[in-house]
Structure 1
Amino acid sequence: MAERYSSFTRGGTGWLLQRITAAFLVVVLAFHFFQLHFVNHAAEVTFAGTQERMSTIGYFVTMVLFLVAGAFHGVNGVYNALVNQGLEGTPKKLVLAVLSLAGIALVAQGVWVAVAMAGWT
């Protein structure tokens, strides 16, 4: 019988953060979906309405945390999937560096847009 292999150390920080961000993403995605499809129907979502929502500190913080959690969860998941497929050595380090830089760039761009949408520039 084949052994089960995972690049996550069970009980390790990466393993724990992957699960915490997954749970957070499920809850915030439901909130986001509800807010933008039931409270504000898609046809009613406007630039001004987005600016108004983003200027509320609670909504702003929630959306920035949503962005950070999503970026971490995605980058960490892709990296560990590649490690599980046998990535090792220098290519492993290179992939980690590229994914980390891409994640940081995504978060930086997203926060910059969120700050601009909130009118705090």
Structure 2
Amino acid sequence: MAEHYTSFDRGGTRWLLQRVTAVFLIGALTFHFFLLHFVNHAAEITFAGTQARMSQWGYFATMILFLIAATFHGVNGVYNALVNQGLDGTQKKAVGAVLTLASILLIAQGIRVALAMAGITVI
């Protein structure tokens, strides 16, 4: 029988965060689909409606957490898949740095859009 291998250190912080973000993402996606596909149908979604939703602090905070959780979960999964395929040494560090930078840029841009949609002006 094949031996089980994973780059995740069982019980480690990244291992735990991968599972926690998965649970959060299931809940957030359920909320998203229910609200934007069943309560409000696609034809009823407008820019003004999005601005109204984003101006509510609970919704705004949920969307920011959704952005951060999805980014971490996806990037951490890609990184670990690459490590599982044999990535190591300098390449592993370079890929980790590129993915970290890409994550920071994605989250920063997502927050900028969320702030704009909520009508919050930042210098």
Class of the TM-score when normalised by the shorter of the 2 chains = over 0.9
SS in 1 for 2:49: helix
Which residue number in structure 1 is paired with residue 110 of structure 2?
110
CA shift at 1:4, angstroms? Answer: 1.1
Which ranges in structure 1 are unaligned for 5 or more consecutive residues?
A: none
Which ranges in structure 2 are unaligned for 5 or more consecutive residues?
A: none
Structural mapping, 1:27-66, within 5 Å: 27-66=27-66
Give the TM-score taking structure 1 as reference length.
0.98
Cα distance in structure 1, aligned partners of 2:42 and 2:60:
20
Cα distance in structure 1, aligned partners of 2:101 and 2:24:
23
Q: Is 1:87 aligned with 2:87?
A: yes
Cα distance in structure 2, aligned partners of 1:58 and 1:102:
27
CA shift at 1:55, angstroms? Answer: 0.1
Give the TM-score taking structure 2 as reference length.
0.97
Residue identity over aligned pairs, in percent, reads: 74
CA shift at 1:40, angstroms? Answer: 1.0
SS in 1 for 2:43: helix
Q: CA RMSD in A?
A: 0.6
